[in-house]
């Protein structure tokens, strides 16, 4: 089996009495989509934040590309090649869609301290940004103000910005939320192909997408991973059915 690219070891994080992450150990291997599912408040976003570097775990470590990155901040982890999308869109709302994507391309190239040449006339950056917008289907909205996008389109833009980084691994927190059927199908197709470029740790509520895409699924409940396995294994797991899928069926 291939060496994991990304690995958490015993990540633990408490908010007062609440254990949002309870000794979470999971990994992401080359070429795979590893889906992380669980009910609301299970601690999925909290885990993503600790992997991305926005939040320090109380204990446990994060390894990325064979390196212990636990003490590194978000910027350093991004520079190492961790591409991340937020559950609640974190975009520059006054920018155009294209400007947000160009920002990503600029970050990837890393030469921010330039003070004279217009960035939107930089062909390389703009081409890279447009390519990413096209892949998520936002090419016709490039000149639109980001604040005017629908919630679904913002999620798409989040993915596009992550694409401009050409990262070595993706962390995606509910990228399909708010997308209509068409958008969701398109993004499913995109992620399907994307895993060959870089593996994806995917937090997602859309079960159809998860079962269609995921090579492996981990189920998080009350901060604990209660099961990890293939779609079939997870479907058949009685504990998972009781704790999570059962609720969905009942609802």
Ligand X SMILES: Nc1ncnc2c1ncn2[C@@H]1O[C@H](COP(=O)(O)OP(=O)(O)O)[C@@H](O)[C@H]1O
Applying CB under 5 A, the residues found at the interface with Mg ion are: 44-45, 87
Residue 91: contacted member of ligand X, Mg ion, other proteins, none (CB under 5 to 8 Å, by partner type)? other proteins
How many residues sit close enough to ligand X to count as binding (CB under 6 A)? 11
H helical segments located in 14-146: 44-52, 74-80, 97-109, 123-136
Rounded to a whole number of angstroms, the minimum distance from the CB of residue 20 to ligand X is: 4
Q: Does 91 bind other proteins (CB under 8 A)?
A: yes
Q: What's the rounded Cα separation, in Å, for the pair 91 and 146? A: 8
Closest CA to 179 of 211, 146, 154: 154
- Report the site for other proteins in 18-77 (rule: CB under 8 A): 52, 54, 73-75
Rounded to a whole number of angstroms, the minimum distance from the CB of residue 55 to ligand X is: 8
Q: Does 57 bind ligand X (CB under 6 A)?
A: no
Q: Does 20 bind ligand X (CB under 6 A)?
A: yes
Q: Does 98 bind other proteins (CB under 8 A)?
A: yes
Q: Does 46 bind ligand X (CB under 6 A)?
A: yes
Query: Three-state secondary structure along 172-218?
Result: EECCCCCCCHHHHHHHHHHHHHHCCCCCEEEECCCHHHHHHHCCEEE
Q: Does 42 bind ligand X (CB under 6 A)?
A: yes
Residue 100: contacted member of ligand X, Mg ion, other proteins, none (CB under 5 to 8 Å, by partner type)? other proteins
User: Angle, nearest 10°, between helix axes 151-164 and 123-136?
Assistant: 130
* Pairing verdict, β 33-37 and 59-64: unpaired
Of 76 and 88, the one with the shorter C-beta distance to Mg ion is: 88
* φ, ψ of residue 8 in degrees (nearest 5): -110, 140
Q: What's the rounded Cα separation, in Å, for the pair 233 and 186? A: 26
- Quote the DSSP letter at residue 2: P
Residue 152: contacted member of other proteins, Mg ion, ligand X, none (CB under 5 to 8 Å, by partner type)? none
Residues found near ligand X in the complex (CB under 6 A): 15, 18, 20, 38, 40-46
């Amino acid at each position: 089996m291939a060496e994991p690219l990304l690995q958490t070891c015993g990540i633990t994080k408490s908010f007062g009495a609440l254990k949002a992450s309870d000794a979470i150990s999971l990994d992401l291997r080359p070429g795979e989509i590893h889906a992380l599912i669980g009910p609301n408040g299970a601690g999925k976003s909290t885990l993503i934040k600790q992997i991305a570097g926005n939040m320090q775990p109380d204990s446990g470590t994060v390894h990325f590309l064979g390196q212990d990155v636990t003490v590194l901040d978000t910027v350093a982890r991004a520079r190492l090649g961790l591409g991340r999308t937020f559950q609640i869109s974190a975009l520059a709302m006054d920018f155009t869609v294209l400007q947000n994507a160009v920002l990503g391309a600029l970050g990837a190239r890393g030469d921010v301290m330039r003070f004279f040449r217009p960035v939107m006339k930089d062909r390389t950056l703009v081409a890279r940004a447009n390519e990413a917008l096209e892949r998520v289907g936002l090419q016709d909205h490039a000149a639109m103000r980001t604040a005017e996008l629908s919630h679904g389109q913002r999620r798409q833009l989040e993915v596009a910005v992550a694409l401009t980084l050409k990262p070595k691994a993706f962390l995606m927190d509910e990228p399909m939320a708010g997308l209509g059927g068409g958008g969701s199908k398109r993004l499913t197709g995109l992620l399907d192909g994307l895993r060959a470029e870089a593996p994806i740790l995917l937090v997602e509520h859309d079960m159809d997408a998860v079962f269609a895409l995921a090579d492996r699924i981990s189920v998080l409940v009350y901060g604990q991973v209660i099961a990890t396995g293939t779609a079939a294994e997870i479907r058949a797991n009685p504990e998972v059915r009781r704790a999570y899928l059962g609720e969905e069926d009942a609802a």
